[in-house]
Amino acid sequence: MAGNREESSKQREPLSRERVLQAAVRLADEIGIDSLSMRKLGQKLGVEAMSLYRHVANKDEILDGIVDIVAGEIEVPIPGQDWKSEMRRRAGSAHEVLMRHPWATMLIVSRANVGPAMLRYVDATIGCLREAGFSYAMADYAWNAIDSHIYGFTLQKLNFPFAPEEYAEAAKSYIDLIPADQYPYLNGMSHEVMDGNHDGLQDFYFALDLLLDGLEKNLETS
């Protein structure tokens, strides 16, 4: 076995920062961010936990890294194009990506996020608003408003405990815990769900369009 390194596939591929981060994203998708440990990540890569430290400084750097990988998956708005549809597309893409990586939103809203993909994403967002005529300050307010909706809506949706098709059935099982005399309105809404009059499905674009329409009016009157 004259070991030609290129051909021998029994030899495991060497580690690298990129391979570590990619594996971390996949593992977090599979088992959740709370269960992701250095030891499990090492195991996934066929390596001891401490070997990872040759390629990343610590676990925090891994978390920063996988957030930036996720940020890189989001469709960026194009400055100069119609701002409303671009911001709408950006928001929808962000929501979709964050639903694909259910652990990512929590990390984003609790870390610095200064990776290159995140900076590019933010720069394009501000740029799209600026080119549409927003001042820097108004662009900041608009960006903050839209991102509040993206993060808040996504977190609530991820935290909702029932699948849409189970919801009516689930309501029947917990209705006794919210008696009408103590919680009349919560009880009433649950009955609407039980009776099939309300499916409880939330539309990401409902509140988003309220915000965009309001921002548009704000832009016109300035």
Partner DNA sequence: AGCGAAAATTTACACCGTAAGCTTACGCTG
Partner DNA sequence: CAGCGTAAGCTTACGGTGTAAATTTTCGCT
User: Given the rule CB under 7 A, which residues bind DNA?
Assistant: 5, 11, 14-15, 35-40, 42, 47-51, 53-55, 58-60
Contacts of 14 (CB under 8 A, 6+ apart): none
Residue 154: how many CB atoms within 10 A of its CB?
23
Q: Establish if 92 lies at the interface with a second copy (CB under 8 A).
A: no
φ/ψ of 144, rounded to 5, equals: -65, -40
The answer to whether the CB of 70 falls within 8 A of the CB of 150 is: no
Q: Establish if 123 lies at the interface with a second copy (CB under 8 A).
A: yes
Using the 8-state DSSP alphabet, how is residue 177 labeled?
A: G
Distance CA 124, CA 122 (A): 5
Question: Is 204 strand, coil or helix?
Answer: helix
Q: What is the DSSP string of 91-142?
A: HHHHHHHHHHSTTHHHHHTTS---SHHHHHHHHHHHHHHHHTT--HHHHHHH
We find the least distance from the C-beta atom of residue 192 to a second copy, in angstroms, to be 4
Contacted entry of DNA, a second copy, none for residue 137, CB cut-off 5 to 8 Å set by kind: a second copy
Site track for a second copy across 145-174, x = CB under 8 A: x-xxxxxxx-xx--x-x-------------
Q: Establish if 99 lies at the interface with a second copy (CB under 8 A).
A: no
Residue 213: how many CB atoms within 10 A of its CB?
11
Contacted entry of DNA, a second copy, none for residue 44, CB cut-off 5 to 8 Å set by kind: none
When the beta carbons of 59 and 157 are compared against DNA, the nearer one is: 59
We find the least distance from the C-beta atom of residue 133 to DNA, in angstroms, to be 46
When the beta carbons of 14 and 196 are compared against DNA, the nearer one is: 14
- Give the residues lining the site for a second copy (CB under 8 A): 79, 106, 109-112, 114, 119-120, 122-124, 126-127, 130, 136-137, 139-141, 144-145, 147-153, 155-156, 159, 161, 177-178, 182-186, 188-189, 192, 197-198, 200, 202-203, 206-207, 209-211, 213-215, 218
